[in-house]
Each structure stands twice: as C-alpha cells, then as structure tokens.
C-alpha cells in the first residue's frame, strides 16, 4: 500500500493535477459553445455542428497524435498539444463568425487527443503493470471531476462577460495545465531511449485482429458512454421535467461516476479487466432498458445513478485495455488507433439514438442502445483477457522515485 501511494503521489503534480485543471477549463467552455455560436448568428443546426467539431477534432487527431508521441516523446507532445489548444481556445474567445468558432473548437479537440495519448503513454512508461489501471482511472476520474466543477467555477465569469467568459476560463486552464505538464520527469522515449517509429499502416495491419475484436468493443463502449449524455436529458424533457431538475439528476449521476473512478481502477488491477468491462456495459444496457419505463423524478433519478455507476466503472478502462494490448514497437501509433475506435463510437452513439428516434421513438432509440451495449458486454467477455499479459517493458520501467526496488521485490503488494 505504501509503495502504491508513493508511486501515484509522484504523478500528482505532473499528470493528475493537469488532468483536473484541463477538465475544469473544458467544463467551463462546453456549455457555452452553442450559446456563442448562436450569438454569432448561427442557426440551431449550425450551432449543433459547431459543438460537434470538438468530437470531430478528437477523432481526426487520434492517429496523428500517435505519430507525434512516437517521434517527439510524451513531454514534447503535451507541450505541442498545449500550444495548439491555446491557439484554438484563443480563436474561440475572439471568434467573430461561427466558422472561426468552429475552427477553434476543432483545434481544441485535436489538442485534447494529443494530450490524452501523451499522458496515457507517459503513465505506461512510468508505472508498473500492477498499478496501471489505478493510475489511468485516477487520471480519468480527476478529469471528470474537473469537468463537473468547471461550469460552477466558470459561471461567475460567464455572468460578467457572457459566453466568451467560459473560453477565458478554458484558456487559463490550458496554459496552467501545460505549464504543470512541462515538469513531467523524463521517462522512456523522453530519456533518449525512443523506439523506432512505425508506419501507421504497418501498425494497423500487424494488429488488425486486436482492432477488429477489442477495438470494436471499445467503439461500443464509446457509443454507450456518449449516448447517455443525450438520452437522459431528452427523456427528462419527454416526461415533463424542468431543466433545473434535469441538471440536478445529471449531477447526481456524475458524482457517482467520479466517486467510482479509483475503486474501478483498483478492481481492474486486483480482479482483472474483464469483470469491470463486462459489468460496465451490462449496467449501461440495464439503464437503457429501464429508461423508457420511468415517468417520475425518483425513477429517472435511479436510472441516472445506474448510468453513473456504469460510466464510473469504465473510467480509465479503455486506456487500460489499450495499454495492455499495445506492442512494444509502435506503441504510440497503436494507442492512437485504439483511441480512434473509442472516439468514433463516441460520435456514433448519439447519431444512432437520433436516427432511431427519428424513425420510431426516443424509447426505441434507448432500447437500441441497450442492445448495442449488451452486444459489447458479450464481446468484452469474449476478448478481454482475465489478466493483462506480462509486460516486457517492466524490466526497464523508469520508476519515479526510490520505491522502484520495493515494487520489484514485492510485485504483488499494491
């Protein structure tokens, strides 16, 4: 336990804290993107397109992010991502047309992809396999905590400056997070031991079986996770709840989500990845089945909590599965491809919901997502190993401090 705490504590300032700061900025800005687009003259549809640029930027940035990290290392990659994110956020802050705003939002999405992959690659290098899921889940959970806090911290600035105030908070957060990440102690490729960069085509071809199986299930997980942010408020509106009540229900679910982050990582490390992956998607399926049966604040609140449990269990899961499956050669490129699977699902989930709801009903859309989640649970049960494979890099992991010898003498103590 002492070794575990010491290892994770050493990541607090260079990795975990920037993740929370980044989440605060994102949480402050996301609610005002559509409002700013409307203020600039965009139609409702146009505002929706501007909002979608964030996800599109992440999808477009995933594969290049893998190449960038492989070529210049984790620390240089986060600094590059910080620069791109700062420029994108500044464009949002100073935007004079919806097009400029959309470009800024897209650049921020690309930067988010670079940041996320660089931090993931850094943790893989800096933390032994026995603590991997805990470290990645902690990072993901703190980011979500920041996203939860961000709207409240940004509310005062938005009150004074209008929608642009949210982007001002985000710009400050980008700069602060970048400065904190610049202090990451060098490990792996940043210490001059970089592996030869692989071509993206060779990585995709060599590992096509993993991407066709585990990658497809990561896509389903992304769809299940993203769709909840659309289906829950839409159903609340459908049964006549006011926006304030809807926000409170969503907040309760988000609190459960954040609270489960570290326990989920610990369960993955101690009990294996499969049980958490399957449990998360089963919970998503159950929540989507139950949603059309709700008709009151109490019953919808129960579903919101169940969705929070499902999402909390999945905190750090996709990053952990990608890290476990990643090869030693071409690791960063593989991680970029694996993240692309998940992020593509995040884009597809709300689209599936909208398509089914358009031709049938919102309840039918929720049931369709339940079926997809159940299919993903079966896939996770089939393709996720009970335990991660032994990591050859464990012999050369650069531990951040004097606890290296303790962990290697007692690999089971965590």
Asked whether residue 394 is domain-assigned, the answer is: no
**pLDDT of the residue at 413:** 41
DSSP 14: I
Q: How far apart are CA 116 and CA 394, in angstroms?
A: 22
Alpha helices by DSSP H, listed for 127-163, are 129-161
Are 206 and 121 within one domain?
A: no
**pLDDT of the residue at 148:** 81
Are 206 and 137 within one domain?
A: no
13 vs 305: which has the higher pLDDT: 305
Q: How far apart are CA 104 and CA 38, in angstroms?
A: 16
pLDDT bin (cut points 50, 70, 90) of residue 406 is very low
Are 14 and 32 within one domain?
A: yes
**pLDDT of the residue at 394:** 43
Element (H, E) at 373: helix 362-383
Q: Write the pLDDT tens digit of every residue in 311-359.
A: 999 888 998 898 888 887 778 888 888 888 888 888 888 888 888 888 8
- Residues across the chain: 414
Are 180 and 256 within one domain?
A: no
Around Cβ 239, how many Cβ atoms within 10 Å?
Answer: 12
In the chain, DSSP finds a helix count (H) and a strand count (E) of 17, 0
Assign residue 296 the CATH number of its domain.
1.20.1250.20
Residue 303 predicted with pLDDT over 80: yes
Are 91 and 159 within one domain?
A: yes
Are 175 and 321 within one domain?
A: no
Number of domains in the chain: 2
Q: What is the mean pLDDT of residues 102-131?
A: 86
Of the three residues 186, 213, 233, the one that is the final residue of a domain is 186
Q: Write the pLDDT tens digit of every residue in 163-203.
A: 888 889 899 999 998 888 877 776 655 544 445 556 667 77
Q: What is the mean pLDDT of residues 238-248?
A: 78
Alpha-carbon separation of residue 412 from 270, 390, 407 (angstroms): 9, 13, 8
Q: What angle do CA 209, 199, 206 make, to 5 degrees?
A: 20
Of the three residues 138, 166, 186, the one that is the final residue of a domain is 186
Q: How far apart are CA 280 and CA 241, in angstroms?
A: 27
52 vs 136: which has the higher pLDDT: 136
Are 339 and 260 within one domain?
A: yes
Are 157 and 224 within one domain?
A: no
Asked whether residue 403 is domain-assigned, the answer is: no
Residue 401 predicted with pLDDT over 70: no
Q: What is the mean pLDDT of residues 152-168?
A: 82
**pLDDT of the residue at 200:** 66
Alpha-carbon separation of residue 373 from 177, 273, 317, 355 (angstroms): 34, 17, 15, 17
Asked whether residue 406 is domain-assigned, the answer is: no
Mean pLDDT of the chain: 81
Burial 365-393 (b: 16+ CB within 10 A, else e): bbbbbbebbbebbebbeebbeeebeebeb
Alpha-carbon separation of residue 127 from 9, 20, 397 (angstroms): 12, 19, 7
- Domain membership of residue 157 as a residue range: 1-186
Residue 280 predicted with pLDDT over 90: yes
Are 242 and 149 within one domain?
A: no
Residue 400 predicted with pLDDT over 50: no
Residue 277 CB-density burial (10 A; 0-12 exposed, 13-18 middle, 19+ buried): buried
pLDDT bin (cut points 50, 70, 90) of residue 282 is very high
Residue 222 predicted with pLDDT over 80: yes
pLDDT bin (cut points 50, 70, 90) of residue 411 is very low
CA 165 from centre of chain: 24
404 vs 89: which has the higher pLDDT: 89
**% residues pLDDT > 70 (the chain):** 86
Of the three residues 152, 186, 220, the one that is the final residue of a domain is 186
Q: Write the pLDDT tens digit of every residue in 14-44.
A: 778 888 888 888 888 877 777 788 888 887 6
Query: Cα-flanking dihedrals φ and ψ of residue 373, to 5°?
Result: -65, -40
Asked whether residue 402 is domain-assigned, the answer is: no
**pLDDT of the residue at 257:** 87
Residue 128 predicted with pLDDT over 90: no
**pLDDT of the residue at 392:** 43
Q: What is the mean pLDDT of residues 255-279?
A: 89
Are 296 and 373 within one domain?
A: yes
- Nearest CA to 142 out of 309, 27, 278, 30 is that of 27
Residue 62 predicted with pLDDT over 90: no
């Amino acid at each position: 336990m002492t070794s575990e705490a010491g290892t994770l504590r050493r990541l607090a300032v260079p990795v975990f804290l920037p993740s929370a700061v980044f989440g605060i900025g994102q949480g402050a800005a996301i609610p005002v993107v559509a409002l700013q687009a409307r203020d600039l003259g965009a139609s409702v549809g146009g505002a929706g397109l501007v909002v979608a640029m964030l996800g599109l930027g992440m999808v477009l940035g995933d594969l290049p992010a893998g190449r960038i990290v492989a070529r210049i290392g984790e620390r240089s990659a986060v600094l590059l991502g910080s620069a791109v994110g700062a420029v994108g956020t500044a464009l949002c802050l100073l935007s004079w047309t919806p097009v400029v705003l959309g470009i800024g939002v897209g650049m921020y999405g690309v930067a988010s992809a670079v940041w996320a992959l660089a931090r993931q690659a850094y943790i893989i290098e800096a933390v032994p396999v026995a603590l991997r899921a805990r470290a990645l889940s902690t990072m993901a959970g703190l980011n979500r905590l920041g996203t939860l806090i961000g709207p409240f911290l940004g509310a005062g600035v938005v009150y004074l400056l209008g929608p642009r105030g949210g982007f001002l908070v985000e710009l400050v957060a980008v700069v602060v997070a970048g400065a904190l990440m610049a202090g990451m102690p060098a490990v792996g490729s940043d210490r001059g031991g970089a592996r030869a960069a692989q071509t993206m085509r060779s990585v995709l071809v060599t590992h096509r079986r993993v991407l066709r199986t585990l990658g497809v299930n990561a896509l389903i997980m992304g769809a299940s996770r993203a769709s909840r942010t659309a289906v829950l408020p839409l159903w609340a509106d459908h049964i006549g709840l006011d926006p304030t009540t809807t926000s409170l229900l969503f907040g309760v679910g988000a609190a459960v989500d954040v609270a489960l982050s570290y326990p989920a990582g610990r369960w993955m490390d101690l009990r294996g990845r499969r049980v958490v992956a399957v449990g998360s998607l089963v919970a998503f399926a159950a929540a989507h089945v139950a949603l059309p049966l709700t008709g009151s604040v109490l019953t919808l609140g129960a579903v919101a909590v169940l969705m929070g449990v499902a999402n909390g269990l999945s905190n750090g899961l996709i990053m952990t599965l990608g890290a476990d499956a990643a090869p030693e050669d071409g690791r960063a490129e593989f991680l970029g491809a694996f993240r692309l699977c998940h992020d593509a699902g995040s884009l597809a989930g709300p689209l599936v919901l909208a398509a089914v709801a358009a031709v049938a009903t919102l309840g039918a859309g929720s049931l369709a997502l339940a079926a997809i989640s159940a299919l993903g649970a079966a896939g996770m049960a089939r393709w996720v190993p009970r335990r991660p494979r032994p990591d050859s890099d464990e012999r050369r992991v650069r531990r951040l401090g004097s606890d290296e010898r303790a962990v290697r003498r007692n690999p089971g103590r965590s």
